Amino acid sequence: MKRTVLAIVCFAVLGLGLAGADAGAMHVRAGAQQKVEAVEVKIDNFVFGPPELTVAVGTTVTWTNRDDIPHTVVSTDKLFKSKVLDTDEKFSSTFDKAGTFPYFCSIHPKMIGKVVVH
């Protein structure tokens, strides 16, 4: 009996954790309903997460460097460009036009991501 309660608590905690991790995705869904939203991308372990975002026109995307290595966020089409971001530094860009906006890290060009605005 006690075991069952513990299992339920564990699932609840796990569920909360997953809900937190899902917050970014929920913003994207809200964005589809034409709300102006702020969306976060985390840079961790040489990966932009999520690597591909779909947001509504007017959305501000903020990148945060969670790595202990410097990174940059540079638009392939030269539409935006961050300075070198040290650990926990942020860079934001507002997407006022629909389109697909690929970007990469100029220090590690294999790090790529994409913001789709509609």
Residue 105 is a binding residue for Cu ion (CB under 5 A):
yes
Residue 112 is a binding residue for Cu ion (CB under 5 A):
no
Residue 41 is a binding residue for Cu ion (CB under 5 A):
no
H or E element that contains 19: helix 2-21
Give the C-alpha distances (Å, rounded to integers) separating 81 from 13, 42, 71, 75.
38, 16, 11, 6
- Amino acid of residue 31: G
Stretch that binds Cu ion, among 13-21, 78-86, 92-100, 107-115 (CB under 5 A): 107-115
Cα 108 to Cα 50: distance, rounded to the nearest angstrom: 17
106 CB contacts (<8 Å, ≥6 apart)? 72, 74
Contact flags string 64-93 toward Cu ion, x per CB under 5 A: -------x----------------------
Q: How far is the CB of 55 from Cu ion (least distance, A)?
A: 22
Output 61 or 105, the one with its CB closest to Cu ion.
Answer: 105
Q: Which residues contribute to the site for Cu ion (CB under 5 A)?
A: 71, 105, 107-108, 111
